[in-house]
Amino acid sequence: MNSTGNSKPVSTNQNGIHKDLDAIVRKHCAHEDRTPIPTFVEDSLDLITQKHRETARPLWLDSFCGTGMSTRLLASAHPDYLIVGVDQSTHRLAAEPQTEGDNFLLVRSDCESLWRLMARQKIKLAHHTLFYPNPWPKAAHLKRRVHGNASFQALLALSDQLELRTNWNIYASEFDYALTLSNWISQRQPITPSQVLTRFEAKYSRSGHTLWQIKAHRQS
Ligand SMILES: C[S@@+](CC[C@H](N)C(=O)[O-])C[C@H]1O[C@@H](n2cnc3c(N)ncnc32)[C@H](O)[C@@H]1O
């Protein structure tokens, strides 16, 4: 990872919100995603469920956690929660030796499949954070972004509140718009964190990028 503070801003062939976003979000919210769940994702949920049973604390998912820096920091700031960091990269998860603590757990999984499986099992999260998911900045890659993916409906079913951070203004605007379409109340703003929560956040801050935060909750 580039740690020198000269990370380039996201480069894209989009001028603003993707023209197909509206139709894609409406389609995904109208139809349940029945994509099969890989076995390794079922295994990852077994690990989470076991830890959840042991700790008996409200569950907070930290999706796309990378090395788990945010997971560890959130766990020490919120001892009454079980914080579970999820990332697909074994390499990133192994960057720091400890993958489990009193109130945190790091698991290798695929976020989108895990959200689907948790939603099917009606698992409820107390909170959900998604810090700097891959932007997929080419217009053709809209469906790989969290809000353009068929798993978006499952993501929304899991919790009544969530927070996403990104260094790409269009991603922030699209996510904000997709939430609003889904009847969520969403607030998008640039932030200067008093404590950096992730490795990418540190890199983007050093590089002078604007950091966008979306905080949202379900409309009651
Ligand atoms: C830009 S990095 C951000 C990591 C961390 N949140 C941070 O800010 O330092 C995006 C992370 O998402 C992970 N990732 C990408 N797609 C994923 C998926 N479908 N399921 C789980 N992890 C995924 C990558 O392995 C990578 O660690």
CATH of the domain at 196: 3.40.50.150
Is 205 within the bounds of a domain? Answer: yes
Is 14 within the bounds of a domain? Answer: no
Domains identified in the chain, total number: 1
Can you give the pLDDT at residue 220? 81
71 SS3 class: helix
C-alpha of residue 217 to centroid of ligand 1, in Å? 23
Can you give the pLDDT at residue 1? 52
- Per the CB < 8 A criterion, the answer to whether 59 and 126 are in contact is yes
**What pTM, to 2 d.p., does this model score?**
0.97
Q: Which is the closest atom of ligand 1 to the Cα of 133?
A: 10
Can you give the pLDDT at residue 38? 98
Is 7 within the bounds of a domain? Answer: no
Is 74 within the bounds of a domain? Answer: yes
Looking from the CA of 175 toward its CB, the CA atoms found within 13 Å total: 31
Is 11 within the bounds of a domain? Answer: no
The DSSP string of 127-162 is EEEEES-----SGGGGGGSGGGSTTHHHHHHH-SEE
With a CB cutoff of 8 Å and minimum separation 6, the contacts of 73 are: 195, 197
C-alpha of residue 220 to centroid of ligand 1, in Å? 31
Mean pLDDT, the chain cut into blocks of 10 residues (220 residues total): 74 93 94 92 98 97 98 98 98 92 97 97 98 97 97 97 98 98 96 96 96 96
Is 3 within the bounds of a domain? Answer: no
Domain of 128 in residue numbering reads as: 21-218
